[in-house]
Structure 1
Amino acid sequence: REPEHYQDGRFYIKVEDTQRALRDLAFWYKEQFRIPFVGVTGSVGKTTAKDMIASVLSVKYKVLKTEGNFNNNVGLPLTLLRLDRSIQIGVVEMGMDRFGEIDYLGDIVRPEVGVITNIGDAHIERLGSRENIFRAKCELLPHIQKENGLLVLNGDDALLATLRGKTPVPTVFCGSGEGLEYRAQSVSSEGLDSLHSRITTPGMDREVRIPALGSHMIYPTLIAAAVGEHFGLTADEIEQGITRFVPTRMRMNLVQRGDGITILDDTYNANPQSMRAAISVLADSRSAWKLAILGDMFELGPYSPALHIGVGEYLGKRKIDCLVAVGDQARYLAEGARSAGMTAVYPCADKKAAREILPELIRPNSTILVKASRGMRMEELVEQLLELTPEQ
């Protein structure tokens, strides 16, 4: 379709398919630079892994990385079009919600290093099973460069572990299990400040401080160490990159109000696995009052009620004091929490209803987790929490 009005001084190219044209343009442009790329996919933790990898590599190299959620068939080509002659390595995130998308993106990037963080329930509505999600993520494998190529996988993930000895390029596994090439041991937290872990790799064996929340952060740390070693970084350089990691906005951001109340802003997105990880961070806090404000998880299809109930049950098992459940699926979160023994449970049809009850639920020395899928826009409740006065 031609534009209604042409602007003077602009060039126009008429194509049959704008998406395909953008893909072809980005591929051609990328090929002018001849630099290596790292392609990151997975059900949970893609952005965190991408950011940690970029933090490590940037100690030694000038790095281009995916910004925001530019990880699809439009955003990824636009990311590649940001390349300039100063860039030495690209780190790009690859998202998908159906078969064929990772194949499409992988063919554009053709990474030297491929990363799959894990296999979870995100997008199970479209794909039907974790096994199908696994197959969709594995579309990345044929596109990894055969020369100097490397595949980095989560060795604690049962489905990804089945790939050992079956991949087209050398592969390393990361996690806490025995015998993994990149392993984290003796993981401990410093409250809501950071983690400490002994990191063992082919090139390093040392205690490392990880400036992030939650024991699940060992995975992006180990993945980044594997990528760093592949590109020739020393143990000191890798540790430096890990310690200067900064999480993306609305991804487990620690917000201190200054009056003893802490907000865990994890509102960017949610699925059952990331919900459990966030709840674990809340449970491990040393606060007198632990409040979870959780909204709907989208794209779970017919599995949605059971998966929301499961998250609610996990809340109860981790001894969270209070739940405010927001959205169409709130009743299932509440049902699960009550079945696990929680009594302070408040299902709310929408954010307006939640806003009305929150003032009476804020107490001194609280830690408050706020999390839901992106479409819920739960950051609006974070803004309210910053203004509320706690009940004595």
Structure 2
Amino acid sequence: MSQIASIYQAFLSTKGASTDSRSDNKDRMFFALKGANFNGNKYVKDVLKTGAAYAVADDPMLQDTRNVFIVEDVLSTLQALARFHRRQLNIPILAITGTNGKTTTKELVAAVLSQKYQIAATAGNFNNHIGVPLTLLSMDKSVELGVVEMGANHIGEIDALCQIAEPNYGLITNVGKAHLEGFGSFEGVKTAKGELYHYLKKNNGLVFINNDNPHLTQMAQGVTNTIEYGISQGMVTGHLTSEHPFISVKWQIDQLTEINTPTQLIGAYNLENILSAICIGHQLGVDTTAIHQAIATYTPTNNRSQFIQSARNQIIMDAYNANPSSMQVALLNFANIDTTNKVLILGGMKELGSDSETEHQKLIKNIESLPVSKVLLVGDEFKNMLPQKSIFQHFSSTDQLIAALKSAPLENACILIKGSRSNKLESLLPYL
């Protein structure tokens, strides 16, 4: 029996995998991962004492410790075990990646598919080289279909995740300027995300593709097994019927009866996410009534396109992340909202490398033409960029903005909050 097979037999007797020594590890298999600032091997004996069933470590000093598997590298073992488990489950896996919208799309797809199947989907943003294996290992024999979100900030990562998850279906939501430090350029982004198309083409998988996106159609050239959706062409077509504050979508399958679905989502940019969920649901056998119900009742969480009515203001909370393309569509949507006293609270965009200054200058130029009464900018990225207009204010940190809001509260405003995750703009909510 191979070492992975031996570890797997032990894994099946546990309550699942863990990589955090601080969490509840009782009856779990602990993987002692290492990073630049931590070494999980140091905590192996502690987690075993507090109830972990087994540990996987790569420190030879632990080889005589009971219930510890000593391996060459813990991370690659975690990944190999996840692939082994995926093969034992032998269920269809749908992979979702893209620059923007992948988490919202994943949640919409999961809501639709759960109308017919017992599904398991990526929790939160567990979408990297550690999160994807943990997602797979969280699936048990009751799961009929898996939905796996895949994130990346370097070329080669999506391919590596595909080698672990071995998806049968795939969707790229879109491609835009993000993580340019890692990808090098927009072409690098397309190459990286396109690794999902390449894997599915090579392994006879099925690609769902937005027919309205020229980048995606160009990237998918040579992929023959595709199903398309879009505004005017594809198996599923649809358009917005209203968008204040929540969007409603009228859609149809194969040009048959139109269905009008109200949603609890903010932003016209969510139309393509909704159409992809409808398309995937229909292809995998979910009936139209169930699809309508799933989308109508889906409520966004985690600071993604959330509409919040506070005691003093209306707030569009979209502060989970930001890059030039997601910022552009959010601002366009905000400009189209028919209301007065609009206020922008924007945090700096991270990981743009040498393009950072140029992209932030473009953003400010774009804002200058928008119908807004106040612009509050947070982060060093905006330093020394403010136009000579009284509506613009700059704050070096979110805490500094909180102090300003305490002394001069915003009232009766419609506020868009958007910025990269590290700005922690969600901490503004109690003061709005």
TM-score, with length taken from structure 1: 0.89
What CA RMSD, in Å, does the superposition of the two structures yield over aligned residues? 2.3
1:237 to 290, 313, 333: 290
Matches within 5 A, 1:199-348: 199-202=251-254, 204=256, 205-259=258-312, 261-331=313-383, 334-335=386-387, 343-348=390-395
Partner of 1:356: 403
Q: Which residue of 1 aligns with 2:132?
A: 76
User: Is the 1:309–1:332 contact (alpha carbons within 8 Å) kept by the matching residues of 2?
Assistant: no
For 1:170, the equivalent position in structure 2 comes to 225
* 1:82-231 alignment runs, 5 A limit: 82-144=138-200, 149-163=205-219, 165-167=221-223, 169-176=224-231, 178-185=232-239, 187-192=240-245, 194-202=246-254, 204=256, 205-231=258-284
Q: For 1:116 and 1:49, how far apart are their aligned partners in 2?
A: 10
Structure 2 CA distance for aligned equivalents of residues 13 and 173 of structure 1: 47
CA-CA distance at 1:315 after TM superposition: 2.4
> Which whole-Å deviations, capped at 9, do the CAs of 1:6-32 have from their partners, x for residues lacking one?
345642111111111000111111222
- Cα deviation 1:156-195 (Å, max 9, x = unaligned): 323112145511x41133333x43443223x233522x21
SS at match of 1:211: strand
Specify the structure having the higher radius of gyration (Cα). Answer: 2
Q: 1:319 to 1:188 in 2, by over 3 A?
A: farther
- The answer to whether the 8 A contact 2:397-2:423 is kept is no
In structure 1, distance between residues paired with 2:80 and 2:415: 46
Q: Distance in 2 between matches of 1:280 and 1:144?
A: 34
Higher RCO (CA 8 Å, separation ≥ 6 residues):
1
- Measure, in 2, the Cα distance between the counterparts of 1:112 and 1:96: 19
Q: Could you tell me how far 1:93 is from its partner in structure 2?
A: 0.4
Q: CA deviation at 1:310?
A: 2.0
Q: Name the SS for the 2:364 alignment partner.
A: helix
CA distance in 2, matches of 1:175, 1:322: 35
Post-superposition Cα deviations, 1:106-157, rounded to whole Å, max 9, x if no partner, equal 1111112100001100111221221111111111124338787321123332
Is the Cα contact below 8 Å between 1:175 and 1:218 reproduced in 2?
no
Distance 1:325 1:284 in 2: 21
State the alpha-carbon separation in 2 of the partners of residues 74 and 5 from structure 1. Answer: 18
State the Cα deviation string for residues 312-365 of structure 1 (Å, max 9, x = none). Answer: 233233312211001111237634xx6xxx640001122233223334664442
SS in 1 for 2:160: helix
For the 8 Å contact 1:45–1:220, the answer to whether it is kept is yes
Question: Contact 1:291/1:368 (CA < 8 Å) preserved in 2?
Answer: yes
TM-score relative to the length of structure 2: 0.81
The answer as to whether partners of 2:112 and 2:277 remain within 8 angstroms in 1 is: yes
Q: CA deviation at 1:296?
A: 0.8
Give aligned pairs, total.
375
Counterpart contact for 2:241–2:247, Cα < 8 Å: yes
- Flag the 1:217–1:5 CA change in 2: closer, same or farther, 3 A: closer
Partner of 1:21: 77
Match of 2:60 in 1: none
Aligned with 1:368 (options 393, 415, 420): 415
Q: Structure 2 stretches of 5 or more lacking a match?
A: 1-38, 55-66
Aligned partner letter, 2:413: S
Contact 1:203-1:229 at 8 Å conserved across structures: no
Stretches of structure 1 that go unaligned for 5 or more consecutive residues are 386-392
2:106 alignment partner in structure 1: 50
What amino acid maps onto 2:416 in structure 1? L
Q: Tell me if the contact between 1:324 and 1:348 (Cα under 8 Å) persists in the aligned partners.
A: yes
Separation in structure 2 between the aligned mates of residue 181 and residue 219 of structure 1, nearest angstrom: 13
Summarize deviations over 1:174-230 as a string: whole Å, max 9, x none: 333x43443223x233522x2122213327532222320111111111111111112
For residues 149 and 348 of structure 1, do their structure 2 counterparts lie closer, same or farther at Cα, with a shift above 3 Å needed?
same
SS in 1 for 2:107: helix
Answer yes or no: is 1:31 the counterpart of 2:84: no
Question: 1:273 offset after TM fit, Å?
Answer: 1.6
Asked whether the equivalents of residues 339 and 414 of structure 2 are also in contact (C-alpha less than 8 Å), the reply is yes
Structure 2 counterpart of 1:74, which letter? I
Superposition map of 1:378-389 within 5 A: 378-385=425-432
Counterpart amino acid of residue 326 in structure 1? V
Cα distance change on mapping 1:43 and 1:359 into 2, 3 Å: same
TM-aligned CA deviation for residue 294 of structure 1: 0.6
8 Å contact 1:38–1:91 — kept in the other structure?
yes
CA contact 1:288–1:365 (8 Å) conserved in 2: no
